[in-house]
Structure 1
Amino acid sequence: MNKSQRMQGRRAAGFIAPWVLAVSASLIAACSGDSPEQLVIAAKANIAKHDNKAAVIQLKSALQRNGSLAEARFLLGKALLESGDVSGAMIELNKALELGYDSNELTPVLAAAMVLRGEGAKLIAQYGATDLANAKSTAELKAALASAHAVAGNLDLARKSAEQALKLDPENQGALLMQVRLLTISKDFDAALKVIDKAVGANPKSAAVWLVKGDLLRAMRRSPEEQLAVFREAVNVDPGNVGAHVAVITVLSQQKDFEGAARQLKLLQAQQPGHPQTRYYAALLALESKDLKEANEQIQALLKIAPNSASALQLAGEIDIRRGAYLQATASLHKALPLTKAPAASVRIPLAQAYLGSKDPAKALSVLKPLLDTSNPPAQAHSLAADAYTSLGNTKLAQESYRRAVATNPNDMAARTMLALAQIHGGQAAQGFGDLQAISSTDPGVAAELALFKAYLSKGEFDKARQAVDSLERKKPTDPLSADLRGWLELLKGNRDKARDAFELAMKRAAGDITAAMMLGRLDLQDGKPEPALRRFERVLQADPKAVDARMSIIVLRAQAGASADEQQRLILEAIKLHPSEPAPRIAQINALLEAGQPRDAVVAAQAAIQAVPDNASLIDLLGRSQMLAGDATAASQAYGQLAKLQPNSALAAIRQAELHATLKDTRSAISQLRRALEIVPDNLDVQSALVGLLAVDGKSGEARSIIASMQAKQPQNAAVWDVGGDLESYLRNFPAAVAAFQTSLKKHDSAETAIKLHRVLLSSGKRDEARNFEEAFLARWTKDSTFLSYLGDAALGAGDYEQAVRRYVQVIKLQPDHVAALNNLGWALQKAGKPGALDYVERALKIKPDSADILDTHASILASEKRFDAAIESQKRAVALAPAQHQLRLHLAQYYLATGKKEQARTELSKLLEAGDQFGQQDEVKKLLGSM
């Protein structure tokens, strides 16, 4: 056996040995002649030696032979509790209770388990007035009750329970330690030290005693070194003691020694891998290191064994907020709320943050109200309330809340800055700008400068915005931020060269500055120089090889520079290989496959992505979309069901299910799903709009109009609401009402999108003169807008007015020389009008977007019209390869083959179209062409 084989053998032995030993112990116990009673006796001996693992095996073996052994159930529950398996302990202790085991022994252990499981309130309700026959047992129960009262914040009741325990048993360690904790809370440190030193002298091998002493030293603000020495003594005394490890982790974390804390966590995980506290601190440290996936996995594992733990639920909420899973955060934090003593600021503040994150400011205010109604609300509660009022558009109350936040904590520069901004937006500009200048002069931070920059920029006061940047640069002369802002400012002023200089300076200050690289890349592309842009992002990657954004920007730039679809996929796969747990490259891969008309390949990519990045809502959403486009409605429905489980309070899954049902023409099921979505997001405009449309399709125009009336009453100034009304009336062919709705929308907000809708309705209702007058008036207002012009070109093209289409597309291209759709359509219109230059415009479009099947189809059509069939066939073959599901492209290819007498090639393509069946609506044409051959 060589060295490598020996090493592999050792590793294998190391992996297998614990399993073999456990199985062997079980087999020996099972195969021996020991009776269940003898196994219980042996287990007791192992418990006395603190060998709980062996005891658990023996007790389980005894219970396999005789499940009604009450003592075995009790001992197993006690051993599991000491091993950290609280849930397993509760099961066995409750079974022992059902079997009638002695309550004097059982009740104190069950009480301790209930406290650890977070069921203190239940313990108090069930056993608060219970006295046991044995004084020592009653003392242990009272000590557990003292802990439950203390956790609930009822310190007087905790003190009373501890005193009762000590009267019954003056040496009861739990009660003594509770007494120390209560003296510590009341800051009677001298008395607390006397009690704890006495306890240490009496029980130097008790980890619990050392732990309480460490807590006391922490409360007395003794040095971290003194605290660590005591907590580490607790670990030395009992290496399996979870609390001792946790105390060391806590002190190290407070000292920002996260590496040391992580090392201590590994020691804890080796001793107690499944203990709730192990899970909790694993989640906490993962959150600190920004490993949100690990943090979420650990906290979810903890909630399975301690579903009613307020601290676990609170941490779960905070992790979800960081993950952006706001609706899951609200679910966890709402569950924690009744488990936390009022007013529960530690829960209400993150819960309000979650509601603000999910764009629900009204609920954020509702959650904050009990805090704000107290005599001394925390400053953060006022700040969050101000944020909520700002979102609701109530600047007056926002200002008042910011003022209260500043009054509560005058040193809160963020609150002072936000108050000044609220004053600016609330009509007190002079006061607001003055306050921001004052903050800027005294605060070493740069929040005020950033606020001033943004505020002056919005007012078009560029010189004053520059002064804010100057101030920021004086505070942070080596920071790239000031150079980035200066670059933005120069761009807005039209000074591209100065902007470039500023962004170049930012990259000199920080080679990994993604903002500067992006802006310089954009300038390079505008100058027709993609290579310098690519080199910039490559330098960002050299500075930070983990910069996923930079890598994805390179892929986008290569696509814009004309990279083929295969080249883009190669780059995306390379990014996935380098960043396997990052969702961004995988999302890009799936989207690229969908855009290429390859939904089945997208399904495979999405499944692989979810395996690598589980529980990612965006990836699961894309899987469902890919499956839907691939025609697998059942699988898509399952994916959206998985999305609903992942985000139970999210409307997204219901919306996706509605889209799926609508695709399958199951309108009523789609409506049902949208109603469900509105229960979650009652005022969501997109969902309301979709529901209105489906109700109209289902013949329920009255209900649709009722919803729109409610929307308009709630948001009369929101132009989008009036657009929805116009869309409905247009669908119902009630053109006068549609015109009125779109005109109202344009008065609220002048936009090209609404102008297009109004123009269409005017034409549909036969009012061509009105349409022409509106067209001229809108173009006079929007002289630099290409959207409306492009629409006019499309409308003319659809109506066969090729001269007018050419005129409009030329106008678009003057405004946007690289407008791909306009270049392509202009080529098509010129060909149809019999004018020269068609091919030149389409080839310009192909240079910008070389892998567009639609542009290649136009290109082939123009070549065929010029009798250049061989070249047309090559272009059309590329179009078919890029979008094989677009059957019209294949039909055109067959027609070109026939035009050149290549009947066999034509037959091959037409046969494929026959196989498509109902998926291609021109089967008569296919059969006709086949017949002609």
Structure 2
Amino acid sequence: MSILFYTVSPKLMPRPTVTGNVLRAGIGFLFLVALVLSACSRDPNVRKQKFIAQGDAYFKEGKYPEAQISYSRALQLDSRYVVALYKSAQCSERLGNWNNAYRELLRVVDLEPENWPAHLDLGKIYLGGGKPQEAKERALLILRSSPKNVDAKMLLSESDAVLGNQKDALSEAREAVDLEPGQAKVYLNLAILQQKGGAFGEAEATFRKAQSLDPTSIVPTMYLGSLYQSQKRNEDARKQFEAAIQAEPKNPAPRTALATLYFAEGQIDQTEKVLADAKAQMPDIPAGYRMLGDFYIARNDPPKALAEFSDLVTRYPNDVAVKKTYVQLLVLAHKLDEAGRLNDSILKSAPHDVDALILRGQMQVQQKKGDEAIVTLQEALKYAAENSAGHLQLGFAYQLKGNPNQAESEWRKTVQLQPRTAEAWRALAALAAQRRDWHELESIGTQLIKITPNAADGYIIHSTARANQGDVASAEADLNRLILSAPQSPSGYLNLGILRAKQKRWTEADSLLHQALTRDPGSLQAHEALANMDFERGQPAAAVKRLQEQFQKSSQDAGLAFLLGQAQARNSQQADAEQSFSKAVELAPSNPAAILALATVQAARGETDAAIASYKRAIPLAPNNAQIFVSLGSLYEAKGDWQQAQTTYQQALSIQGDNPFAANNLAYLLLEHGGDVNVALSLAQIGRRGMSKSPNSADTLAWAYFHTGAYTAAASLLEDAVKKVPANPTYRYHLGMVYQKLNDPVHARSAFEAAIKAQPDSPAAEAARKALGELAGT
């Protein structure tokens, strides 16, 4: 609502005398104006238009998050306001939030079925999301109402091209040209299809036609350069990209294309020069000045990437995106102190910054702070529920806490949101392998090959799955493909060598494993596989000697010291194994695997106190490993310190409530030392569920039944345990006590005598003698 105020220059009118009536009239007029203004400010339509205008201003400046906030405020006033909803969808598209854009566009066409621009945008999202049939249906829907809609015609041709209908696609592209022969975009669409169909001459002519129609645009020039590059006409491609740079020196795209061309030619120095020039010549354009750093990241060159982004953070302290990238690089380099300080500075300015919260959670995962990581990442996802990186890291946090089911749920959410997240697929593959779910593992391998065809892990995972399903030929084919695609990588030779070893084709296995070592002399997997072959062939001394010789060459390699210790322990050289594991711990004091191996050997050698000390040392490094507490509890039991053993088993169960070993052992301690028999029974049942074939769990549950008066159930379990381990005096004694309660003195006497005979100096034998005496006195 607009209000006009007429003013007259005071020089042209005499100054009036202000009387009471005039004053009251003036006050009344001002009151009226205030009412009108107030009515305008409360009018929802006026407020909606205000928010739309604000959003449009932000959108024009490329400030899409701010624009979307303004549009959302309009939608708060009217959730069915199609204008705001469509503009918000366009912001989501610019921000790459395709799921949100998709939902908003569906809402737009639901409220306004003939909103053809929204239908067109939906079709493009379908096409980009790998759903060409749905894209085609949208295009046809638009064309039925608007047959001359050239954008819909182009969408139809692109959809048919993806569907494999090349003839139809070309025909539709030519129809688009006929509809608007003066538009460059229709020729570009046609040329792309001609190039795809191998009609390179026609494509070149069509691209040049597009150039002539829009000589100020670099788009046809860029496409023409790409066409030349695909034909190995690199000099012609270079000229096109350089012309595009000259035409738009502040546009990063042609510089990226030229750098990519040099990189494909193996001219790394020229590649870096192009990108360094971009940094120097585009100091005010983030996409330009960070191109060199992004290149180092893409090339997997962490030292150069770190150095470059360190420089960028210094040059552009207010560029939060650069700062976040640098934090991520620091995290990957395990420089958590510096990363934490920089990330905290981001969160100080923007406490709800989702990326920074996720980075904090990622650091907490690395620091083994599982509980804190979960809280941080859940907070991040509260603000951005569909952030795939947040779900990925939350999965790692749950894994750290020993909760594989929740971890898997988060990783599946990750790949649902972002199917090309290789890290999530790898994590899911590890879970599938643990479950021995080979069909699922095969499916994951296929997905990884699809999204990272030049990486080794997809082929290895797929090969492992096929081999475990008995399809050795397919497994070999996967690994041979890997060798052909990456002949200088050790991975193909290593895994094919391991497969040959499983087939006992020793000569081929040996050759392949040595080829892997030629490409990576420090490959621990190859050294381990060769040592395993020696053991398999009955040559344990050769395995130990092989690893000793290798360790002499690389005496600071903790991994080799660990492998040597494993081989020595396997060859019953416990003292030597202890020495090797001690060396591994010395070289890698933060590696819990080496410390646990050392503790195991120390326990086997009867060095109980030393083993306890080693297990305690491992706990801070793997605080959520319940099995460490179980092993430690067993050592306390062996020392006769049942109170400490009980506490330790309880700690194990606080980490993993269904750990069968901890539950079984704690149940037995409670029964033996006057604990709550009902709690003991519940724990014994947990232990039995997890160790259903173990005579030890059968004995514990039976003893719990004995203490609760369920003698018949106890007898069945103990008879089965004694059958499996006839020489165990404890099982025999417990069975005798059960028979005694069942009023079967004959079998009770026999069980007690067998317990004494099995191990005369054991505590169970002593208890059996006492029971026999009581039995004789009855």
Q: How far apart are residue 378 of structure 1 and its match?
A: 3.6
Distance 1:652 1:833 in 2: 39
Matching residue of 1:849: none
CA contact (8 A) 2:68 2:91 kept: no
Residue of structure 1 in register with 2:223 after alignment: 485
Residue equivalent to 1:287: 59
How far apart are 1:610 and its partner, in Å? 3.8
2:490 equivalent to 1:794: no
What CA distance in whole angstroms lies between the structure 2 residues aligned with 1:485 and 1:909? 57
Paired residue type of 1:368: V
Q: Deviations over 1:695-736 (max 9, x none)?
A: xxxxxxxxxxxxxxxxxxxxxxxxxxxxx8xx887544476x
Aligned to 1:116: 42
Matches within 5 A, 1:733-882: 733=436, 755-761=459-465, 763-764=467-468, 771=472, 773-774=473-474, 777=477, 784-786=484-486, 790-795=490-495, 803-807=511-515, 822=519, 865=552
What's the secondary structure of 2:382's corresponding residue?
A: helix
Q: Is 1:662 equivalent to 2:408 in the alignment?
A: no
- Please name the residue that 1:36 is paired with: none
Residue 889 of structure 1 and its aligned partner are, at CA, apart by: 11
The structure-2 alpha-carbon separation of the partners of 1:382 and 1:610, relative to structure 1 and needing over 3 Å to count, comes to same
Query: Using a 3 Å threshold, how does the CA distance of structure 1 residues 923 and 797 change in structure 2: closer, same or farther?
Result: farther
| Corresponding residue number in structure 1 for 2:374 | 637
Q: Which amino acid aligns with 1:607?
A: D
**1:308 corresponds to:** 77
Q: What's the secondary structure of 1:444's corresponding residue?
A: coil
Specify the alignment match of 2:741 in structure 1: none
- Matches of 2:43 and 2:369 in 1, distance apart? 44
**Pair 1:437–1:758, CA change in 2 (3 A):** closer
> What code does the residue aligned with 1:322 have?
C
CA distance in 2, matches of 1:560, 1:693: 22
Aligned-residue offset at 1:661: 1.6
Give the whole-Å Cα distance in 2 for the aligned partners of 1:795 and 1:456.
42
Equivalent in the alignment of 1:228: none
Q: What's the offset of the Cα at 1:572?
A: 1.4
Give the C-alpha shift of residue 582 in structure 1: 3.9
Offset of residue 516 of structure 1: 3.0
Instruction: Give the drift of 1:593.
Output: 0.9
For 1:451 and 1:518, how far apart are their aligned partners in 2? 22
Instruction: Note closer, same or farther for the CA distance 1:315–1:658 as it changes in structure 2 (3 Å cut).
Output: same
Counterpart AA for 2:159: A
Structure 2, unaligned runs of 5 or more? 1-22, 532-547, 564-581, 603-609, 615-778
Distance 1:392 1:537, change over 3 A: closer
Q: Secondary structure at the match of 2:87?
A: helix
Contact 2:476 2:496 in 1 (8 A): no
Alignment of 1:878-889 (within 5 A): none
Q: Match of 2:375, as an amino acid?
A: Q
Corresponding position of 2:728: none
**Alpha-carbon deviation of 1:318?**
3.3
Instruction: Provide the secondary structure at the position in 1 that maps to 2:344.
Output: helix
Alignment partner, residue 57 of structure 1: none
| Match of residue 571 from structure 1 | 308
Q: Structure 2 vs 1, CA of residues 450 and 615 (structure 1 numbering), >3 Å: closer, same or farther?
A: farther
| Letter of the structure 2 residue corresponding to residue 759 of structure 1 | S
In structure 1, which of residues 328, 344, 368 is the aligned counterpart of residue 109 of structure 2? 368
1:595 deviates by 1.9
Query: Quick check: 2:136–2:156 contact (8 Å CA) kept in 1?
Result: yes
CA distance in 1, matches of 2:269, 2:367: 37
How does 1:37-436 map onto structure 2 within 5 Å?
A: 48=27, 112=39, 116=42, 118=44, 281-295=53-67, 307-310=76-79, 315=84, 318-319=87-88, 321-323=90-92, 357-358=101-102, 368-369=109-110, 371-372=112-113, 377-384=114-121, 386-387=123-124, 398-399=135-136, 401-406=138-143, 408-409=145-146, 412-425=149-162, 429-436=166-173
Give the drift of 1:462. 2.6
Cα separation, partners in 2 of 1:653 and 1:626, compared to 1, 3 Å? same
Aligned residues of 1:406 and 1:416 also touching (Cα < 8 A): yes
Where 1:460 maps in the other structure, the secondary structure is: coil
Q: CA 1:691/1:538 → structure 2, altered by over 3 Å: closer, same or farther?
A: closer
Instruction: Indicate how the Cα distance of structure 1 residues 524 and 291 shifts in structure 2: closer, same or farther if over 3 A, else same.
Output: same
Identical pairs, percent: 13
Q: Contact conserved, 1:891 with 1:913, CA < 8 A, in 2?
A: no
Distance 1:653 1:561, change over 3 A: closer
Equivalence for 2:666: none
| Distance in 2 between residues matched to 1:295 and 1:746, nearest whole Å | 37
2:71, 2:134 → 1: CA distance?
37
- Relative to 1, partners in 2 of residues 1:117 and 1:378: Cα closer, same or farther, differing over 3 Å? closer
Distance 1:489 1:614, change over 3 A: farther
User: What secondary structure is seen at the aligned counterpart in 2 of 1:290?
Assistant: coil
Per-residue CA shift, 1:645-698, capped at 9, x if unaligned? 3224667655543432222113455467679x59xx9898799x989998xxxx
Structure 1 match to 2:344: 607
Distance 1:446 1:797, change over 3 A: same
Do the aligned partners of 1:524 and 1:530 also contact (CA within 8 Å) in 2?
Answer: yes
Match of 1:41 in 2: none
Report the secondary structure of 1:606's partner residue. helix
Identify the residue that residue 587 of structure 1 maps to in structure 2: 324
Gaps in structure 1 of 5+ consecutive residues: 1-43, 53-74, 85-111, 119-150, 152-242, 244-274, 330-353, 695-723, 811-821, 835-860, 877-886, 893-906
Is the CA contact (8 Å cut-off) linking 1:299 and 1:312 kept in structure 2?
A: no
Distance 1:279 1:750 in 2: 44
- One-letter amino acid of the counterpart of residue 587, structure 1: K
Distance 1:916 1:740 in 2: 31
| Conservation of the 8 A alpha-carbon contact between 2:92 and 2:100 | no
Task: Please say if residues 89 and 105 of structure 2, whose CA atoms lie closer than 8 Å, have aligned partners that are also in contact.
Answer: no
CA distance in 2, matches of 1:524, 1:392: 31
**Do the aligned residues in 1 keep the contact of 2:462 with 2:475 (CA within 8 Å)?**
no
Mapped partners of 1:824, 1:923: distance in 2: 26
1:647 corresponds in structure 2 to 384
What aligned pairs does 1:1-20 form with structure 2 within 5 A after superposition? none
The reply to whether residue 518 of structure 1 matches residue 256 of structure 2 is yes
Instruction: Give 2:176's aligned residue.
Output: 439
Verify the 8 A CA contact 2:191 2:203 in the aligned structure 1. yes
Could you tell me whether the CA contact under 8 Å between 1:380 and 1:405 is conserved in 2? no
Instruction: State the match for 2:708 in structure 1.
Output: none
Structure 1 residue 544 displacement after superposition: 2.9
Q: 1:570 to 1:891 in 2, by over 3 A?
A: farther
> How far does residue 548 in structure 1 lie from its aligned partner after superposition?
1.9
Distance 2:513 2:115 in 1: 64
The alignment partner of 2:77 has SS state of: coil
Contact 1:655 1:674 in 2 (8 A): yes
Q: How does 1:546-565 map to 2 (within 5 A)?
A: 546-556=284-294, 565=303
Q: Specify whether residues 438 and 597 from structure 1 end up closer, same or farther in structure 2 by C-alpha distance, changes over 3 A only.
A: same
- TM-score in terms of structure 2 length: 0.54
Secondary structure of the residue that 1:631 maps to in structure 2? Answer: coil
Q: Aligned AA for 1:638?
A: V
**1:915-926 paired onto structure 2 within 5 Å:** 921=596
The structural deviation recorded for 1:279 is 6.1
